[in-house]
Amino acid sequence: MVTEQLIPRGIRDERVLNAMRAVPRHLFMPASSRSSAYDDMALPIGEGQTISQPYMVAAMTELLMLAGNERVLEIGTGSGYQAAVLSMLSREVMTVERIPELAERAGRVLADLGYANVTVLTADGTLGAPSLAPFDRILVTAAAPDVPQPLIDQLAEKGILVAPVGSRISQQLVQIIRRGNDLHKNYKTHCIFVPLIGRHGWSS
């Protein structure tokens, strides 16, 4: 996966590559799909949700520019795989999932595999986790028309937020860097994610 998919497509951060090598992606997937776990595609995990394509996980993680001491908020826990990757690259990860069944399953897998610096919350992800803010990094793994304002409000000074924004059928990754009251936006690769459902996203 790393040598044939990630490196040839330009993923260069060695810490990201090593995390992708280390996290057992197949263990975050339903048993029936594990034989395809390292294929170059997003795959269903139940409840109408997916585990992102490995390249997209790596690309979004690289855009966060993690140094190792950050508090990270992830919106859209899904399988828990992305949270596990983030946990290896940061100090602490809070991940929010709106679907209780997925949150419970991901929390159990993360705990069983020893990712002790990850906390799984069940809530409307478009609201973030205001009681735990601010966050040095925020990663949104579902698509909204624009980045929800509560997430921007919870981004720390010099913090970085990465999210897919656009329509329900096509989006573009945006990297937002906060410098005081200014938000510097860098638009990156095109992508397709499941919709971000909630008060500041799409309606169900």
pLDDT digits over 186-204, tens only? Answer: 999 999 999 999 999 999 7
Task: Please state whether the predicted TM-score (pTM) of the whole model is above 0.95.
Answer: yes
Mean pLDDT of 166-185: 96
Say if residue 100 is preceded by a cis peptide, omega within 30 of 0: no
The structural domains of the chain, ordered by start, are 2-191 (3.40.50.150)
Q: Residue 157 contacts by C-beta under 8 Å, 6 or more apart in sequence?
A: 134, 178, 179, 180
Write down the pLDDT at residue 105. 98
Catalytic residue among 32, 52, 87, 204: 52
User: Would you put residue 3 in left (φ > 0), alpha (ψ -120 to 50) or beta?
Assistant: alpha
Is 33 catalytic? The answer is no
Strand, helix or coil at 126?
helix
122-160 residue pLDDT tens: 999 999 999 999 999 999 999 999 999 999 999 999 999
**Average pLDDT of the chain?**
97
Write down the pLDDT at residue 204. 79
Distance CA 79, CA 95 (A): 11
